[in-house]
Structure 1
């Protein structure tokens, strides 16, 4: 068997010999070519590598060969080759410098000057001056350069080469930028909406490239090697700056054009703003001409380099600014004519003003300028006969109101007057008929708002009569019976509107009963006692104009009823905390101050303010504050409040920056100071405010809510704090709220049920695990009560404990983790020991879910069906929700299956109407 173990060792021994002869061969072959060949025919990098690496390798080879005595002749040859390579080494920098790809004629002239010497005519060298020497060689070889004495000026030649490389780099960058811009285009292929013209798209890439290239060009302008291209670089820099300015102006014009184009597309607004419309049409014509040209050549560099384009855009910006100023002034005039327009955005107001020929188009915006007016009943002659709320309640106007041929701000002002007259007439009618009709019939025969307030007017009168007659205890029993009659009425066959009315009346009646019982316990015998005057009392008295109107009184404050139409909405449950907040805010009104409820989330700061506004029939605009708010925005809002006499609740007021708060303090100081100068609520005050003359109504007020101590909140300046009366809010009495709400939904044992519900949440918060999505506060209480109320309507004869048990399960079980479910079940068992969980029937929902899952190629397992049913139950009592679980847990498929099932059932004609809605 052949032994190959020595092959590797032999190969290693042979390696120095092989490398030497390869280097020697390359040198013998290349050296004549390098010396005598045309200078631009060989690779300078290859020469540099072979000479440099060859010298290093020969040094190593000689060391290896010297270990063997027989290599003497070979060492002599290797030494000669090594010496030849080292002798050639000084020529390499010259070749590298002159073979630079950036060498141009100007550089060869500089080399020729160096070879000729200073003050002499430069020698003609370079690829453009090749001459035959007559012996087969030329003057464009390394040897010819050496013969000219290039080695003596090698350093300066290297400098020329370096300069050529730097200039070549600048040239390449310049050409690269110019080529890059040939590929950058605007996207102008599709017309913008229905305008028949185009807008710039894809400008972000151009803007980024402009910024990058302007910086790069500026660096080139400061380079030491830019002399050959200085004029070209300066011209390119000028062009880029022009394109940048042009693009910036273009985009500014585009933003303004896109905003104004739909506005002046309306014939109505063109008639109302003829000068502005004419100016805009001029800009619009320029825009269309330019964009049509750009649509044919979309290259950014070409589009932005059009002659005179920057001047066109500069003029267009001036014209559009003038148009926008005219538009703002026009909107300000309209807002001054109808102050509630201040509560609309510019876009919403323009939408209204662009429909002056058709007053019915204003209806979608009614709920934004009135508290709860969603529609008006227009006759064929465009007269208005009644108004309706979001809930569908309708109140007739006292007289027909004509809108034909009138500006929208004028007939909207008339609508406001007609609304107040209609509410006043309905309230007066409800007050008159109260004593003639049984109360259970009376309360479903009038608009909800008038039912509540007429009842309070009579309650105030009756309480004072019984206090004077010392029969308060008798009246307390009468109120209790009235309450039970209403609870029984709710269980009957009422419509949705009637049930809401009676439920709200129950909330008011429970508080009225509690107040009278307290008066009886404390043996109040005079109507001037604090226990009585600290209540919200309603009177039908003459005002300072001699006209009979409703007045609301509390302690030292008398306030005129606002007659704002509130529709058929539920009322806030009145707790001792609510009473205290009412008293503080009403006191602030009489002191010409604002109100400032403060406290943690969920304590009712905003809702209590809104409910007091409902009690006084005032429009209350809730404004969610943010750090982006500025004093100009707030100043406009204050104008609307002061001119309309409305209330505003600034939610989380201390999120606004301190600089803005300081200006707001000065604005409020002016308004509150003017209000203090008026002697009665029927007067108005004319004053200059934020550059305008406004007519201020003294019924306006500003309330703020705050969460002190929260992250990102600002401490109010002292001058602002002095303008508000503070009120500390705390967690309300859930049991009391639950009791009253249960009564309002028709439960007979409201107190016992409320205590069980509160105990359930208290024990759950103590025993169950702590999770971010667990909530046992006011929101959970409200959801449970609403679920119980819904079940009570569906099953009026079912045991009330069973109803509450199911409501607690429906609201809470879907959100609990697996480990917490047994603990919650034990809590329920302890609190409802004798109550069997009700058997729940979902009718056609389960078969529809099975069919929906089958269509989606999924199995209807018990777990999936359970989650779909839980999601359905949760949807009945919550406005929004979050599905939480691991990836692949079925979150998406659960809601999609329920969506498909509910949509299919919504079109089932055999099911009762509105059982299921399309999703």
Structure 2
């Protein structure tokens, strides 16, 4: 209010007039009497003009804040207003830090409210070089100071890690530095050591290769020791980097390369510490290290395809172009772009595009990219309407030209903005899918294309299993890939079956989680259980025996491990009784499969015809887990149920009101935002119960993949928490794109597997007391059901033709309801 006095005065005047009109309406509820007042229309038109002035003033005010702290451009107006409205107590800004920084999730406030350290979302702590004092300063100014201090502090700890590398054994050095510094500090020394080995000729390279092999074995041995969660993540990421470093040196040794300028060497990502700064080079590109705090996160396995992608995108940076990886779902387009940003320590904002985006919203994004020197990856870019794409081409041309000319400031979309030369724009595309547009030629010319194809699953599996501490990683990875290949060839073809990279990743992550829980179990048993946990839930009844035969052939003599679910198994039976359900073995096993899928996937689908028990499945599991709250790590589960096809796309995700140009929140967006803002340990299952089609589900691609973010057309990005699970209850996935299917875990439920006997048992339990007390009546009804049910169902199936396909379970339920009447 203090910062917008004129607008505040006008708004209060409008508010007073509105209240006055409403007061008159209450006193005299005669519509004609009120509406015939000639002054009323004049007052309302005047109020509208005043509100437009207020809106413009507010917009200019927010723009002034964004001009000071460029990362505010990546927030929607509502998010920014929320931050600005809470600045009386500086600590209120803490929940919003993840929205503007890559992985700076929290800061440490001293008793005098000065800021002395930062935390990642994994709770890794890095001390600031100097304290930041936000006292009596605008949030945009001290947030800028936090950004500067983040850069300074990351640079400081990275330099320390590089200097201390030789002072202690490498295994000790790894445990005593932050994860980001371990990875990049190690790469700085690797680059130096390789170039030193070149001077010793071919023998020098071979000797260094043997040294790297020894280092890698020491690191893998360390993974199997007792470690903290932070240390195990850092080691896993380091092993991925070390394996690639070893492979590069092995290739140099095999080819007899000894020239530091050879293409085989300069085509690698190389790190140098020069003139008190870290530089990253690849081929002709020399890029400054960004010092964005990335926390302690896993890294992408580097395959030959990843190398090609990196060299193409780094070349695009040199040529002052954007990068455009394109290819089918699950080939690593977005992940490769994000991982290159991690390698260069740059902030990379991933945004899922939709056909509702306009040039104004994207213009705001481009202002933020240029001013902050950040990267942005627009996922599914070719979903944007062709009219908007033409305008985007002009916008990008302006900022790319300014970057090429080395201009510090430009006027862009009515604002004076800074241009930092490290910014870049990347787009990913799924060609040939429903709802996709061909890019205009003037837009294509601004991006360097990169064709992404199916990666080497066996290599990725081997390195990732290695990073989780598996000894026989190569053999196990080959068995895993063979399982998926044979399943795709021998099992039936279903819309919800997926054997791509995301399915492989799910198995590896499940195996890694099991390995951490039980270091002593045989490795082939761990992988066997992971393969079963991830794949069995999605298979049809007829495909299960075929899958079991594939498993037996690949894992001969390996028995299925006994799994102890503790109190959960007993509680499931009690919950079945609570809901008057029958604890059939097929039903209980499907609930357990749902539970296992929730542990490895944050997005999953319950698929199958009606009356298969989909709703009863998740409700029984929810009731069981909530009842066990407080024991064995179980916490209360809240469900939020919505039919996505009962409302329009605008009502689902939110839309701009064409009359007032105001953003109206969508139902789903609000549910996700409320769940994400809940800081309690309670879990949230968001259940979308209705048909899945490409129109509405594609906007959730970044929610369902590793980004875990809902991107709205207002520019708002809502990150999901670890306690949230997205569930879909659908009959089939006939019209869903492969991009959606590959992102979700699947639990398939068939009415055939349940049978009709359990439905009758539950129906018997609903008999009124006279029936239940009379043994004679109860027995008669049971006998009639046993005698005639099978014959009647067979007759209906053979002799009668229904216009709509009806399952036996549906007929049984309808029969019971008619008898109840």
CA 1:778–1:915: 2 relative to 1, 3 Å: farther
Task: Choose between structure 1 and 2 for higher RCO, CA contacts under 8 A separated by at least 6 residues.
Answer: 2
1:805 aligns with 528
Residues 1:302 and 1:799: Cα distance change in structure 2 (over 3 Å): farther
What does residue 144 of structure 2 align with? 413
Deviation at 1:729, TM superposition (A): 0.7
| Mapped partners of 2:302, 2:346: distance in 1 | 18
Structure 2 residue 495 is the aligned partner of structure 1 residue 495: no
What residue number does 1:201 align with? Answer: none
Correspondence list, 1:535-546, <5 A: 535-542=268-275
Of residues 427, 430, 440 in structure 1, which corresponds to 2:171?
A: 440
Pick aligned residue for 1:522 from 251, 255, 258? 255
Going from structure 1 to structure 2, the CA distance change for 1:295 and 1:373 (only over 3 Å counts) comes to farther
Deviates more, 1:861-870 or 1:785-794: 861-870
Question: 2:111 & 2:205 partners in 1: Cα distance?
Answer: 55
Query: Are 2:558 and 1:835 aligned?
Result: yes
2:405 equivalent among 677, 684, 697: 677
- Structure 1 residue 301: Cα displacement: 4.6
Q: Show the counterpart of 1:317.
A: 48
| Cα drift, residue 883 of structure 1 | 1.4
Aligned residues: 638
Alignment partner, residue 641 of structure 2: none
Pair 1:893-2:616 in alignment: yes
The structure in which a higher percent of residues are strand is 2
Instruction: Name the counterpart of 1:610.
Output: 338
2:179–2:296 contact (8 Å) kept in structure 1: yes
Q: Do the aligned residues in 2 keep the contact of 1:903 with 1:918 (CA within 8 Å)?
A: no
Aligned to 1:118: none
Partner SS for 1:882: strand
Contact 1:472 1:520 (8 Å CA) reproduced: yes
2:570 matched residue in structure 1:
847
The answer for unaligned runs of 5 or more in structure 1 is 1-269, 543-547, 679-683
Partner-residue secondary structure (3-state), 1:596? strand
Decide whether the 8 Å contact of 2:635 with 2:682 is kept in 1: no
Aligned to 1:450: 181
CA contact (8 A) 1:456 1:537 kept: yes
Cα distance in 2 between the residues matched to 1:419 and 1:514: 34
Aligned CA RMSD, in angstroms, stands at: 1.7
- The equivalent of 1:653 in structure 2 is 381
Q: Distance in 2 between matches of 1:381 and 1:550?
A: 35
* 1:455-483 C-alpha deviation (Å, 9 max, x unpaired): 11111111111122121112212212222
SS at match of 1:623: strand
Change (3 A) 1:295 1:780: farther
Shift of 1:293: 2.7
Aligned partner of 2:19 in structure 1 is 288
Q: CA distance change for structure 1 residues 912 and 486 in 2, over 3 Å: closer, same or farther?
A: farther
Matched, 1:587 2:320: no
Confirm or deny that 1:708 pairs with 2:452.
Answer: no
* Whole-angstrom CA distance in 2 between matches of 1:567 and 1:913: 28
1:169-208 aligned at under 5 Å gives the runs: none
Task: State whether structure 2 residue 510 is matched by structure 1 residue 787.
Answer: yes
1:75-94 paired onto structure 2 within 5 Å = none
Structure 1 counterpart of 2:244: 511
Q: Answer yes or no: is 1:636 the counterpart of 2:364.
A: yes
User: What's the TM-score once normalised by structure 1's chain length?
Assistant: 0.68
User: 2:636 touches 2:682 (CA, 8 Å); kept in 1?
Assistant: no
After superposition, give the CA deviation of every residue in 1:506-526 in whole Å (9 maximum; x if it has no partner). 111111111111111111111
Residues 460-499 of structure 1: matches in 2 within 5 Å?
460-470=191-201, 471-499=204-232
CA deviation after TM superposition for structure 1 residue 691, in Å: 2.0
Question: Following superposition of structure 1 onto structure 2, how do residues 92-131 of structure 1 map, counting pairs within 5 Å?
Answer: none
- Listed as ranges, the matches of 1:701-780 within 5 Å are 701-780=424-503
Q: Which moved more, 1:803-812 or 1:626-635?
A: 626-635
CA distance 1:686–1:839, change in 2 (3 Å): same
* Equivalent residue, structure 2, for 1:556: 284
- Asked if the contact 1:768/1:820 (under 8 Å) is kept, the reply is yes
SS at match of 1:528: coil
Matches within 5 A, 1:614-629: 614-629=342-357
1:601 aligns with 2:329: yes
Alignment partner of 1:664 out of 378, 385, 392? 392
Q: TM-score, normalised by structure 2?
A: 0.76
- Alpha-carbon distance in structure 1 between the residues aligned to 2:404 and 2:252: 35
**Alpha-carbon distance between aligned partners in 2 of 1:272 and 1:380, rounded to the nearest angstrom:** 29
Measure the CA separation in 2 of the matches of 1:429 and 1:405: 34
Q: Distance in 2 between matches of 1:467 and 1:913?
A: 56
Question: 1-side partners of 2:415 and 2:503: how far apart?
Answer: 47
| Partner SS state of residue 378, structure 2 | strand
CA apart distance, 1:697: 0.5
CA contact (8 A) 2:386 2:439 kept: yes
Contact 1:784 1:807 in 2 (8 A): yes
| Distance of aligned partners of 1:496 and 1:655 in 2 relative to their CA distance in 1, 3 Å threshold | same
Q: Could you tell me which residue of structure 2 aligns to residue 389 of structure 1?
A: 120
Q: Report if the CA contact (8 A) 2:628-2:635 is conserved.
A: no
What's the CA shift for 1:295? 3.8
1:344 to 29, 50, 75: 75
Higher normalized helix content (fraction of residues): 1
Distance in 2, matches of 1:400 and 1:803, equals 47
SS in 2 for 1:308: helix
Change (3 A) 1:887 1:914: closer
Following superposition, the deviation at residue 896 of structure 1 comes to 1.8
Query: Matched residue of 1:272: which SS?
Result: coil
Query: Could you tell me how far apart the structure 2 residues matched to 1:302 and 1:607 are?
Result: 64
| Cα distance change of structure 1 residues 830 and 304 upon mapping to structure 2, 3 Å threshold | farther
2:158 to 427, 437, 451: 427
The whole-number CA distance in structure 2 between the counterparts of 1:537 and 1:296 is 78
Q: 2:188, 2:270 within 8 Å by CA — same for their partners in 1?
A: yes
1:599-654 Cα deviation digits (max 9, x unpaired):
11111111111110000000011122222222222111111110100001111222
